[in-house]
Amino acid sequence: MKLKITAVGNSAGVILPKELLARLRVEKGDTLYALETPDGIKLTAFDPKVADQMEVAERIMREDRNVLRKLSEN
């Protein structure tokens, strides 16, 4: 789906069509979670539990980067 970036005050935004909002199961005023993947950015409905788990995983990956690298070599 092709989306256009538009000015929103001093920032930029993307208008999500109704069909995309329905597929994401979100409405105006809801929060989305943007996750960087090897294929690009993935948008999902914001789930506080998942967000907390992602923060913990990212912290562990940062703090234990060398250990995780060695484990992946085996």
Q: What is the pLDDT of residues 43-61, one digit of tens each?
A: 988 877 877 887 888 888 8
- Domain limits at 9? 5-73
Specify the pTM. 0.56
- Token match 């990956």: residue? 61
Q: What is the CATH number of the domain that holds 27?
A: 2.10.260
The Cα–Cα gap between 58 and 55 comes to 5
Give 9-47 as a DSSP string: TTEEEEPPPHHHHHHHT--TT--EEEEEETTEEEEEE--
Q: What is the pLDDT of residue 48?
A: 76
Q: What is the pLDDT of residue 16?
A: 94
Number of domains forming the structure of the chain: 1
pLDDT tens per residue across span 4-19? 999 999 999 999 999 9
